[in-house]
Homo-oligomer: A and B are copies of this chain.
Amino acid sequence: MDIVFKAINDPTRREILRFLTHGPQNAGMIAQQFNMTKPSISHHLDLLKQAHLVDFSKNGQFMVYSLNKSGFESIHAWFQLFTLYFELPKPKIRL
């Protein structure tokens, strides 16, 4: 669980996630979007993988990354508690 929050804490990783909403991309294309070395991006992708926020498959020499629903579902599950809190009807005062 902790790993998901850690993963989305970094602005570069959030940008990677946003970029992947345009569809699956290989590591090189992702790295190209950022002013950062490939090893750095590789490390960020690894963390996103650990958090199950991205998935990957190998296509020849290319690693293709895509969004993975399951990481997002764990964020949603956590968030639910607060959604309920704020949606809870406030106690009415009897006039």
Contacts and interface: CB of A to CB of B under 8 A. Distances in A.
Q: Tell me how many chains of this kind the complex includes.
A: 2
Contact of A72 (B9, B18, B69, B82): B82
- Residue from A5, A18, A75, A79 having most chain B Cβ neighbours under 10 A: A5
Interface string A1-13: 0100110110100
A25 to B, nearest CB: 14
Interface of A is mostly: helix
A86 B55 CA distance: 14
Given A6-B9, A21-B82, 11 more contacts: A5-B5, A5-B14, A9-B9, A14-B78, A67-B82, A67-B85, A67-B86, A69-B86, A75-B79, A76-B79, A79-B79
